[in-house]
Structure 1
Amino acid sequence: MDDYTLPFWIYLCVLTMFVGGAMKKILASHLSTAPTLVAWLGATVLVERLWAFCLPAVLLLTLLGLTCCIYSATRTGPPSTNLPAHGKAVFITGCDSGFGKAAAKRLDTLGFEVFATVLDLSGEGARELQRTCSPRLTLLQVDITQPQQVQQALLDTKAVLGLRGLWALVNNAGVCVNFGDAELSLMSNFRGCMEVNFFGTLNVTKTLLPLLRQAKGRIITISSPAGDQPFPCLAAYGASKAALNLFIDTLHHELEPWGVRVSTILPAAYKTGQSSNHAYWEQQHKQLLQSLSPALVEDYGEDYINETKELFQSHASQANPDVTPVIDTIVQALLSPQPQVRYFAGPGVGLMYFIHSYCPYSLSNLFLQKLFMKKKLMPRALRKQSGFDLNLSLHNNNNNNEEEEEEKLK
C-alpha cells in the first residue's frame, strides 16, 4: 500500500463519493429496478477500483451488500406514525380545478380545516367543493396576482382561526400560457407566467408566513420539472418555475430555525386546468399568429408553428387524468413527521432527474426532446437554407464531373 500516491487516494475517495451518491440517488428515484440490484451494480464499480489494495473481493462485496440490504430494509420497514390531521388548518391556492380542487376534497375528508382559494366563487369548481365538502372548508375568492385580495384572504383566515396559527400553505395556483420557441413567445406570456407562478406565489407565501411561523407549520409548493430542466418550447413557463424553485429552496434554509418545514412537489404530466381544452389551444394559436411580425412568421413558417400546437395538444391528451399520486404526496408532506425537501410525484420523474443529474448534457437533452417535443419540421428559413446548400453541392458536383470528362477527352 505504500506504493500508492496521494493523487490515487484522492481519486479513490472522489470515486467512492460519486458511486455512493449515485446509489443514493437511484434508490430515491422511485425507479422500478430493485434497490438491491442497483446497489450491487454500484458495488462492482468500487470492487474494480479497490482490487488494487489486495482486499478480499468476497469480503468486500459481503460488507457492501450487507450495508445496502440494511439501507433497503430501513426504507421498506414499517412507516413512522403520521401526525394527526384533526385541528390542523391548511390554506390551498388554485382550487377551481386540477390538483387544488382534488387536494381540498381529500384534506377535508381527512379532517383538516381547509381554506380553499378560487378565482370564481360561482364557478363549477367552487360549487362542487361547497356541495361535497364539510362545513370545515372555507372558500375564498382570491386572484393571487392581486395584493388586495391576498390581504383580504389573510384577514378572513385569521378571523376563522382566532389565536391559532396556520399548519400549512399549499402553493398550487399556476398557469402555462404559452407554447412555442422562446423567440415566438410573446412578452406578455413571459410576464403572465411570472406574475402567477412566481410573484403571486411569493406574495401569498410572504403574507401567510407569520401564521405559519406561529404554528411551526409547513409550506408545500407544487412546481414543475420544467423549472430545473430545459424543456423545449416551455421557456416562459420554465423560467417562472425556475425562479419559484430557487425561492422555495432559499426558504427551506431560512425557515429551518423557525421550525417551518418547506417541501417542493415535482409532478409528472397530468391533465389539469386548460391542458386538455382544444378550444383554449386554438385561441392561443390564433392570438400568437396575429401578434407575431410577418418576418418571424416567414422565417419559422406557419406549418412549423402549427406543428408545435398539435404536439402540445397531443402531449396534453396523453397525460394521466388520475391526479391521485400528487394528492397522496401532498398528504404525505403534510403529515409526515420528517417531510422531504423534494418529492417526485408520478412515474418517470425520478428517472428524468437521475438522467439530468448524472448523464452528459447531450444525453439529457436528447431524452427531453424524445420525451416531450418530437418535432419533425425545421423552421422554414432553415429548410430553404438546407435546400440551397444541397442544390449548390449538386451543382458543384456536376461541374466537377464535367471537368473530369473534359480532361479524359483531352
Structure 2
Amino acid sequence: MDDYNLPFWIYLAVVTVFVGGAMKKILASHLSAGPTLVAWLGATVLVERLWAFCLPAVLLLVLLAVVCCVRSGSGTGPPPGPPAEGKAVFITGCDTGFGNAAAKHLDSLGLDVFATVLDLTGDGARALRRSCSSRLTLLQVDITQPQQVQQALLDTKAKLGLRGLWGLVNNAGVCVNLGDAELSLMSNFRGCMEVNFFGTVSVTKSFLPLLRQAKGRIVNISSPAGDQPFPCLAAYGASKAALNLFTETLRHELVPWGVKVSTILPSSYKTAPSSNNAYWEQQHQQLLQSLPPALMEEYGEDYIAETKDLFQSFAEHANPDLSPVVNAIVHALLSPQPQLRYFAGPGIGLMYFIHSYCPLSISNRFLQKLFVKKTLMPRALRKQSGLEANLGLSNNNNNEEKLQPL
C-alpha cells in the first residue's frame, strides 16, 4: 500500500466516482443484455489496473452482474404500488399511438380513464369505445385551445366528485419536420411549440389542483430529440427541450406537495400519421411550395426529396410494438417509487450513455449514423466542390505546362 502516493489515490477516487456514476446510469437505463455486458466489460477493463491490489477484476464483474440481476429481476412484473382500482387518470392525445394504447391498458387494469381525442367520431375514439369498459370517459379536446382544456377540467371534476386526480399523462404531441432548420417553416416551429410545450403546460397547470389533492403523478411523454441534436428535427427537438426543462423544474417544485413527476423518452415507434405515405408526400409538397426560390436553388429539390425519403423510410422501419412505452406509463403511475426518466425502447439507454460520457464528436457521429443518413450535399455546396475540383485540375495542368522542358 505504501507504494501508492497521494496523486494515485486522488486519481483512483476520480475514476471511482466516474465509473460509479456510469454504472448507476446503466442500471437505471433498462439496457438490453448486449450493450449492458459491453458496458460491464469496459468498466472492468478501466478499473482493473487500479483495483487489482484490493479487488480482482473478475470479482468486480461478478458483483456488477449480481447487482444488475437483482435490479432487473425487481423491475419485472406489475409494480407493487398503490392499487389501480378507484384511481383516475387523465390522458391527452388518445386518437392513436401511445395515448390510445395506454388508455386501453389502463382501463383493463381497473383505472377510471379520461381520454382526450381530437375527434369523438374518429376511428381512435370508436376503437376505445369498443374495447374499453364503461369507466372510460372520452373528451374532445384540442390542448392548444384554453377553452376546451377548461371544459375538460369541468367535465372531469363533475365525474370525480370529491376525489382528486391520481394521474396526468401528457401524451399529445406533433412532429412536423422535413429538413434542415433553415428549410423548416416558421409555422412548424410555432406548431410544435403550441402543442408539445404550451399545450402541455396549459393542461398541467389546469389539472394540478386535482393532482395535488390526490398526491398523484404527472407523466410527460417527451423525446430524446429534446436532449440531443437529431439532424432535421430542430423544431420538434426545441419544443421537447422546453418540455424537458419544464418537467424537471416541476419535479422539484412539487416535492413538498407529494406529487411525483416522470419523463418517458421513447425510441422510434410506428404511430400515425408517420406511417402514412400520403402524410409525407403532403408535407413535402407543402415545403416545396413555401420555400423562397433562392433557398430552393441553393439546397436543390433533389436534396429536399432525399430528406423526405429518408424520413419516410425511417418511419416505415419503426417498431410497431408500443408495449415498452405503455409499460413505462403504467410503472410511472403505479410504482411506489417511479423513476425520474424512463428509456422506453431498445438502444435509448445506450444512446444516453454515449451522449453523457463520450466526447461530443463521438456522440454526434453516433446520431448521424443512427438517424437520417444523408448522401447528398446541398446543391450550392456540390457546385462549389465541383468548381474547386475544376480549379485544382486546371492549376495542375498549368503547373505541368510550366515544368515542360524547353
**TM bracket (short chain):** over 0.9
* Structure 1 contact 36–68 (Cα < 8 Å) conserved: no
Displacement after TM superposition at 1:23 (Å): 2.1
Structure 2 residue 43 is matched with structure 1 residue 19: no
* Structure 2 contact 169–218 (Cα < 8 Å) conserved: yes
Amino acid at match of 1:157: T
1:132-160 per-position Cα deviation (integer Å, ceiling 9, x unaligned): 21110001111000011101111100000
Structure-1 residue corresponding to 2:33: 32
Looking at structure 1, the residues matched to 72 and 191 of structure 2 have their Cα atoms a distance apart, in angstroms, of 43
* Structure 2 contact 35–350 (Cα < 8 Å) conserved: no
Amino acid at match of 1:81: P
* Structure 2 contact 51–57 (Cα < 8 Å) conserved: no
Displacement after TM superposition at 1:207 (Å): 0.6
Amino acid at match of 1:64: L
Displacement after TM superposition at 1:273 (Å): 2.2
Structure-2 residue corresponding to 1:71: 67
Structure 1: give runs of 5+ residues left out of the alignment.
none
Q: 1:138 to 1:365 in 2, by over 3 A?
A: same
Displacement after TM superposition at 1:201 (Å): 0.3
TM-score by length of 1: 0.93
Amino acid at match of 2:46: V
Structure-1 residue corresponding to 2:129: 130
Structure-1 residue corresponding to 2:166: 167
TM-score by length of 2: 0.94
Looking at structure 1, the residues matched to 42 and 279 of structure 2 have their Cα atoms a distance apart, in angstroms, of 48
1:188-233 per-position Cα deviation (integer Å, ceiling 9, x unaligned): 1100000000000000001100100110000011111111111100
* Structure 1 contact 166–217 (Cα < 8 Å) conserved: yes
The 3-state SS of whatever aligns with 1:184 is coil
Displacement after TM superposition at 1:283 (Å): 1.3
Which shifted more, 237-246 or 10-19?
A: 10-19
Looking at structure 1, the residues matched to 47 and 259 of structure 2 have their Cα atoms a distance apart, in angstroms, of 39
The structure having more radius of gyration, on CA atoms, is 1
Structure-1 residue corresponding to 2:396: 397
Q: 1:193 to 1:47 in 2, by over 3 A?
A: same
* Structure 1 contact 36–72 (Cα < 8 Å) conserved: no
Amino acid at match of 1:45: L
Structure-1 residue corresponding to 2:309: 310
1:263-297 per-position Cα deviation (integer Å, ceiling 9, x unaligned): 11111111112101111211111111111110000
Displacement after TM superposition at 1:73 (Å): 4.2
Superposed CA RMSD in Å reads 1.8
Structure 2: give runs of 5+ residues left out of the alignment.
none
Structure-2 residue corresponding to 1:235: 234
Looking at structure 1, the residues matched to 3 and 111 of structure 2 have their Cα atoms a distance apart, in angstroms, of 65
Structure-1 residue corresponding to 2:366: 367
- Paired-residue identity, %: 72
Q: 1:64 to 1:130 in 2, by over 3 A?
A: same
* Structure 2 contact 27–71 (Cα < 8 Å) conserved: no
Structure 2 residue 281 is matched with structure 1 residue 285: no
Please show how residues 15-164 of structure 1 align to structure 2 within 5 Å: 15-29=15-29, 30-33=31-34, 38-39=39-40, 41-50=42-51, 55-56=53-54, 59-61=55-57, 64-65=60-61, 67-78=63-74, 81-164=80-163
* Structure 1 contact 307–375 (Cα < 8 Å) conserved: yes
